[in-house]
Amino acid sequence: MPDLEIRQLGLTDYAATLAEMQAVTAQRTHETPDQLWVTEHPPVYTLGLNRRGVRLPQNNIPLVMVDRGGKITYHGPGQLVIYCLIDLARSHLNVRQLVTILESSLVEFLAAHGVQAEARADAPGVYVDGRKIASLGLRLKNQCCYHGLSLNIEMDLQPFADIDPCGYAGMQMTQTRDLNITLNMTEIAADLTHRLKEKLTHVR
């Protein structure tokens, strides 16, 4: 089985990155390595497939329709995004197991830095004292997944107030900077991708 690869993409355009994820997933074979793409995006709202009752933002930030599950969220500079391009059948994983790996990696990272966090069955993502710090969204095609997670690190949280994040009115957001975690984006990305790679390699 091919090794899990980690790609450091830096700051990328959201729509272009989505198109590349879709192309890689459509063209992959049994020999294509699984990948974690590490990136961040300029300000953008993304609206998932569950669009009923969504409160749309009334500002100048672009809105992109996407093919992941869930409703609307925001991406911007200072937010770590890790896309998971994984052949679930080859890894003997289902979507629920992958979500658990993503959530537990985030919870363990935060715990290692003195922050107690939890996942919630009713609202995918990771929360600290009821405030959302990380979001998850996946798309499955031919038993291969893409999209992934976003972790708020040091960003402008105001654009979240102009939407109901992930469909939850009044959902408050937080980030690692406000929780006295002093690691920067590069350090957190290295820590989190290491945890993810360990867990994903273990099940392969």
Per-residue pLDDT tens digits for 167-187: 888 889 999 999 999 999 999
CB half-sphere exposure, 157, CA atoms < 13 A: 17
144 is catalytic: no
167 labelled ligand-binding: no
Whether pLDDT at 204 is above 70? no
pLDDT of res. 144: 95
Please name the CATH architecture into which domain 5-203 falls.
2-Layer Sandwich (3.30)
pLDDT of res. 160: 96
Of the candidates 88, 170, 108, 103, the residue with the CA atom closest to the CA atom of residue 135: 103
Catalytic residue among 84, 144, 145, 166: 166
**End-to-end Cα distance, the chain:** 8
14 labelled ligand-binding: no
196 labelled ligand-binding: no
* Amino acid making up residue 178: D
d(CA 18, CA 7): 15
70 labelled ligand-binding: yes
| Cβ atoms 80, 153 nearer than 8 A | yes
Query: Where are the chain's structural domains?
Result: 5-203
d(CA 200, CA 186): 21
Phi, psi dihedral angles at 124 (to 5 degrees): -50, 140
Whether pLDDT at 1 is above 80? no
